[in-house]
Amino acid sequence: MEFETLKLEIADGAATITLNRPDRLNALSFQLLAELHRAMRIVAAAVPKREARALLITGAGRGFCSGADLTAPRPNDPQDPKESLRDYFLPPVHILKNIGIPTIAAVNGVAAGAGMSLALSCDIVVAARSASFLSAFVNIGLVPDVGASWLLPQALGDARSAGMMLLGEKLPAEKAAEWGLIWKCVEDDQLMTEAGAMLKKFAAGAGMSYSRIKQLMRAAPQNTLPLQIQMESEFQAVLRDSEDAQEARKAFADKRPPVFKGR
Site for ligand T3D in 223-262 (CB under 6 A): none
In this complex, which beta carbon is closest to ligand T3D, that of residue 15 or of residue 151? 151
Contact call for residue 114 and ligand T3D (CB under 6 A):
yes
Binds ligand T3D (CB under 6 A): choice among 3, 5, 6, 24? 24
How many Å from the N-terminal Cα to the C-terminal Cα in the chain?
Answer: 29
CB of 253 to ligand T3D, least distance (A): 52
Angstrom distance (rounded) from CA 126 to CA 96: 16
**Which is closer to ligand T3D, CB of 24 or CB of 214?**
24
**Count of residues of this chain found to bind ligand T3D when the rule CB under 6 A is applied:** 23
Cβ closest to ligand T3D, residue 172 vs residue 196: 172
Burial of 7 (0-12, 13-18, 19+ CB in 10 A): middle
56: Cβ–Cβ under 8 A, 6 or more apart, which residues? 14, 15, 16, 17, 103, 104, 105, 106, 195, 196, 198, 199
Distance CA 182, CA 125 (A): 5
Per CB under 6 A, the list member of 101, 106, 136, 245 interacting with ligand T3D is 136
Contact set with ligand T3D (CB under 6 A):
24-25, 27, 66-71, 81, 84-85, 110, 112-114, 134, 136-137, 139-140, 142, 145
